[in-house]
Amino acid sequence: METSTEDVEPSVAGEATTTAQAQDVAAVERAVPTAIPPASLSPSRAGDFMQCPLLYRFRVIDRLPEKPSEAATRGTLVHAVLERLFDAPAAERTAPRAKSLIPGQWDRLRESRPEIQELFAQDPEGERLARWLGEAEQLVERWFSLEDPTRLEPAERELFVEAELESGLRLRGIIDRVDVAPTGEVRIVDYKTGKAPRPEYAEGALFQMKFYALVVWRLKNVVPRRLQLVYLGSGDVLTYDPVLADLERVERKLLALWEAIRTATETGDWRPRPTKLCGWCDHQEHCPEFGGTPPPYPLPVRGADGGSAGGPGVVPREAQPLPVRGADGGSAGGPGVVPREAQPLPVRAPESAEGAQGRMGPD
């Protein structure tokens, strides 16, 4: 499961709020799933649309429930432990100390997200839970072979950021860690509890980091010196040093993507894009590719003349799909079709259900 940051308001425009505040707002959103047009874009939601426009609709507009997974929940737990470890003085940031935080953070997670109780409902002896917690300990311990927290003093942890582009598009996300050197150079760090991708899939992983770098650049007029992905599942560290041209390309890509999302939202035409990842999707019963039927569309749709074509769920015959404008001004396909600039990156199927999701929680 993933908590969206789409509608979480920061305490100061363009600055940060706490993860707890973001989760409180997200809890209210889950309790009252009111359909509203998308108003912002996060790395995860951008990835959803590139992967499958219909998946984006199910998550952002319909807000269909998704079952919690052991892998994603373990990811959330490990992130919480690594964040809280930095509360301790530098000399006390040891592996035993970090592992000792796991039981308390697990209790807090269960209290804040009652739905995860079902993960171990069929485990009366607690064997699966004990094994699962042991795997979380292994991930936490492996982190100490990749980074030395006694030599780190993060400027920010679990930082919620938001920037509005000149086009009006709002970009949002939560950065795991921001390090700032004495010279002012910025490093953005993200923890992954899965395994590092093969080289041909590395660009997909870096998209999220370049997204964050773009937001930081637009907020602070500073291009981060380094983007760093820490893969606890395989013990790898992937780094990339961006330049301004990288961030400008990502911005163009996101603007094209947002135009496609806006067109699909207005016409109600969200198309599935079958990939190997479909096998892990929670929404097969609603997907035409699996013989399912999407729920009635909850937003008004635009008619062929540009006016309203009826209320939510009504798509009259005359409401023909409108083309998506490409970067050159020409047609890039019908609604729900991802324009060329925003085409998905190569899809890597997870090796198991455990690899289908790496983290439950904010971006």
Phi then psi for residue 354, to 5 deg, are -65, -30
Tens digit of each residue's pLDDT (9 = 90 or more) over 70-92: 999 999 999 999 999 999 999 99
Encoded tokens for 128: 């699966």
Instruction: Give me the pLDDT at residue 340, please.
Output: 52
How many other CB atoms are found less than 10 A from the CB of residue 89? Answer: 8
Can you tell me the distance from the alpha carbon of 339 to that of 331, in angstroms, rounded to the nearest whole number?
9
6-15, 191-200, 292-301: the lowest-pLDDT one: 6-15
- Pairing state between β 186-192 and 40-41: unpaired
Encoded tokens for 272: 């599935």
The closest of 43, 351, 19, 346 to 194, measured between CA atoms, is 351
pLDDT exceeds 60 at position 334: no
The amino acid at 285: E
Q: What are residue 179's DSSP bridge partners? A: 187
Q: Does the model's pTM come out above 0.75? A: yes
pLDDT exceeds 70 at position 252: yes
pLDDT mean over 291-320: 65
pLDDT exceeds 70 at position 101: yes
